[in-house]
Structure 1
Amino acid sequence: MKIEVKNVSKSYRHKEALKNISFTIEGPKIIGFLGHNGAGKTTFLNLLSGLIATTNGNITVNGENVFNVPLTLRDICFVAESGNFQEEMTIAQTLRANSFFYPKWDENLAMELLEVFALNPKDKVRSLSKGMVSALGIITGFASNAGITIFDEPYIGLDVAARNTFYDLLIEQQTENPRLFILSTHLIDEASKLFEEILILHEGQILLQKTAEEWYEHIVAVKGSASDVEQVIRGLEVIYKHTFMQELTAIVFAGGQSIEGQNIMLERVSLQDMLVYLSKQQKARAIK
């Protein structure tokens, strides 16, 4: 599967949620689609799923537009954070309805996962806890067998054991039935080891797109006085910069280059740390 995003913008009245973004994703692989609240993640996922139209630009899957093209959309399963199911339907009716939409639906897997998550097919959606609704979304996503399967905060209300079950299932499904999984989550420390590629959205723009290997081997934080840091990072790809108490922190993509200099400190940067930095930056701008 190949997703191509070309010069895509999306505006809501006076707010520009996405600002002329362009990138390409190819699978099968597991993509970590990350960003702080309000970064534009859910807007993009709604666009990719054909639920809304772009203001400008276009999104294609294997060369076909996603908006208003039913054949393309039948190979995209978007499990949103909420609002996925009709509350008056039972679990069995919900799964049955989904089986008609997704041509590669795996009924045996759906029944197996009902037992894994201890869901009663006769229960109505409105009677389910948040965790049970999340489990129903997870079952739908995996059983859809869609070439592009999107999970947006898929485990709200699930405990650690259930979340670990989701991670195990994700690995199992990617091994047995490879596809392009896109996972958007705030539980980054838990999920980060699953990601094969990382895409970070920040204030409606693509901040970074790297493979997991590139991130863990070449992303580094350089700390020190502004003059010292600016000198050693010259010529490197700078992802983020922040000044606090006269200390400059620059997160850079070293790309195998050695970073050396006096009075500087180098630190590895986790994905969780990166999102914390961006969140602090956003709040600081809001205060100003």
Structure 2
Amino acid sequence: MTTGTPVIEVKNLTKRYRDTLAVDDVSFTIEKDTIYGLLGRNGAGKTTVMSILTAQNFATRGDVRVFGMDPYENAKALSRMCFVRESQKYPDDALPRHAFETARLFFPNWDQELADRLIAEFQLPLKRRIKKLSRGQLSAVGVIIGLASRAEITFFDEPYLGLDAVARQIFYDRLLEDYAEHPRTVILSSHLIDEVSNLIERVLVIDRGRIVMDESTEAVRDRAANIVGDSAAVDAFVAGREVLHRESLGHVSSVTVLGALTADDRARLAAAGLDVAPVSLQQLIVRSTQHSAETAGAASATASATTDLDEGALR
């Protein structure tokens, strides 16, 4: 449940590519001055959603409002957003400075001093053609534009995949530093969930085109736990709880259960000799999407069996 000022409102958004349902009737809001993690597996629909929000793609149906406006061909909305994506294309003869000069003209809040600082930190060769840059250097171009633009809404669609661990940490550190001084809305798409978990304030998880989680990061951290110990004792404790994942080796089981543990729960666990381990954000999202897929598969199988029974009854 969101309580802040929404800058993006999405209602019943659907996108279909021929036989593929990329986005399936999703609704959500994005609040002002918040860092979001738009998380999910490759092909889950993340890029499609961001492309529609930034008017680079069309919805099959549904309603999108950015700053209360339809973003399509709307300069008032589009000039307040920056969309940085890994697959960004540039003219063949373009140099990095050309990209930055163009960005400075387009984004009214552009900060050249910040751009220069980032160029130095990422050791970006300004006189080399963009098409000759390494993948990491190309990623740095996008990251610099995304940060220095200081747009009111900035989308980062995994543009930092080419960066090594040191360069990614520079990106994370500068994002947090600049966000603290110049708050804005940031939507960060990533599969490196544990790396970005300390950055994001709210989690949006999309799985097979549907939103399966929309919560504050703080609430998500307390949403599940790993119970480890003797299989019989673990089974007794988790009976009646929603199980996201189970692993067993011999007489020892590790079970991920959904739901916060109460003081009484923890007392029971201690009395039973069971250990409790925290679930990382990445583990929780992986387990949740696996669980969602298994539930959907079971529902599909049930529906198929019911259809077969119905057809049998009609014969």
Identify whether the pair has TM-score above 0.5, normalized to the shorter chain. Answer: yes
TM-score bucket (shorter structure): 0.7 to 0.9
Q: 1:125 maps to which residue?
A: 130
Which residue of structure 2 aligns with residue 102 of structure 1? 107
1:1-288 correspondence to structure 2 within 5 Å = 2-221=7-226, 229-231=238-240, 233=241, 241-242=244-245, 249=255, 251-254=257-260, 259=265, 266-277=276-287
CA contact (8 A) 1:218 1:256 kept: no
Unpaired stretches in structure 1, ≥5 consecutive residues: none
* CA 203–95 in structure 1, closer or farther in 2 if over 3 Å, else same: same
Letter matched to residue 9 of structure 1: T
- Letter paired with 2:157: D
**Deviation at 1:107?**
2.1
Deviations along 1:24-60, one digit per CA (max 9) or x if unpaired, are 1202121111111111111111111110011111111
Q: Which has the larger radius of gyration?
A: 2
Contact 1:229 1:248 in 2 (8 A): no
Following the alignment from structure 2 to structure 1, what is the Cα–Cα distance between the partners of residues 217 and 86?
A: 25
2:115 corresponds to which letter in structure 1?
Answer: A
| Alignment length (residue pairs) | 280
Identity of aligned residues (%): 36
SS class of match (1:131):
helix
Distance in 2, Cα, partners of 1:196 & 1:283? 26
Alpha-carbon distance, 1:256 to partner: 6.6
Question: Aligned equivalents of 1:259 and 1:23: distance in 2?
Answer: 33
Instruction: Return the alpha-carbon distance in structure 2 between the equivalents of residues 36 and 109 of structure 1.
Output: 32
Q: Distance in 1 between matches of 2:37 and 2:67?
A: 20
Aligned Cα root-mean-square deviation (Å):
2.9
Q: Is the 8 A contact 2:224 2:256 kept in 1?
A: no
Q: Which moved more, 1:251-260 or 1:49-58?
A: 251-260
Q: Kindly provide the CA deviation profile for residues 209-238 of structure 1, in whole angstroms up to 9, marking residues without a partner as x.
A: 11121122343356877786352x3xxxx6
Quick one: which amino acid aligns to residue 282 of structure 2?
A: Q
Query: Cα distance, 1:254 vs. partner?
Result: 3.1
Deviations 1:164-192 (A, max 9, x none): 11011011111111101111112222211
